[in-house]
Amino acid sequence: MKKTTAAFCTFTIMLLLACNPQSPASNFNKIVLNTNIFHDFANPDVRTRIIRGIGVKTVDGKVQYDDKKNAILDTIPAEQIVDHQLAYLEQAYQDVKAITPDEEIKEMRLTALQMYEMAMPVYKNEYRQYAKMLDTHQPKEQSDSLLKAINDKYSYNFGELALKLRAIAQPYAEKHKLNVKWND
């Protein structure tokens, strides 16, 4: 009976450890890889992301096709693109917050959370305002001026957080033998 109980306990512990979603790879993916969405945050390149709103036209959730059976492309308002990005950021932020930090990932997690906490209000306010200017065809000088103000205000501090995250994440990835390609 003691052997059966010990075996059962050992099996249960191993099963729980195997089911642990907080593996080094999972932590890295949620904490570090999801921050790739920020590659153009507080950077003039964000303009390209916001104005390239092309998608498949749908009516009542059904894709629309032309006479040749090709899906009809439609433009997506810039404000809707910002809203989609914000929804992704908010979900990724919640995923990072849900990770139980241990000593090894505590600083990496905190740095990523700081990045989200800096960016999300900008998407909610300044980038949404910028997108609205694009959608309503405001003078380019006005929208460019707003974009420059955003970049001037956030670029340096956000860049510092990104560098800090990378400095923490690279040794973590190496230690856990994660197959990561870094753009240098």
Query: Would you mind telling me the total number of residues written for the chain in this entry?
Result: 184
pLDDT confidence of residue 21:
59
Domain locations along the chain: 24-175
Chain Cα centroid distance, residue 171:
21
H or E segment and range at residue 168? helix 140-175
Nearest in space to 33 (alpha carbons), one of 155, 153, 172, 175: 172
- The tokens describing 9, both together, are 């306990």
Convert 115-125 to b/e letters by CB count within 10 Å (16 or more is b).
bbebbbebbee
CB-based contact 131:79 (threshold 8 Å): yes
pLDDT confidence of residue 65:
80
pLDDT confidence of residue 149:
96
CB-based contact 104:174 (threshold 8 Å): no
Task: Tell me which amino acid residue 71 is.
Answer: A
pLDDT confidence of residue 68:
85
The CA distance from 154 to 165, in Å, is 16
Query: Quick check: pTM over 0.85?
Result: no
| Beta strand spans in 85-141 (E) | none
Q: Around Cβ 26, how many Cβ atoms within 10 Å?
A: 13
Q: What is the mean pLDDT of each run of 10 residues along the chain (184 residues)?
A: 48 46 85 87 80 67 78 79 91 94 93 96 96 91 94 95 94 88 75
pLDDT confidence of residue 183:
76
pLDDT confidence of residue 57:
66
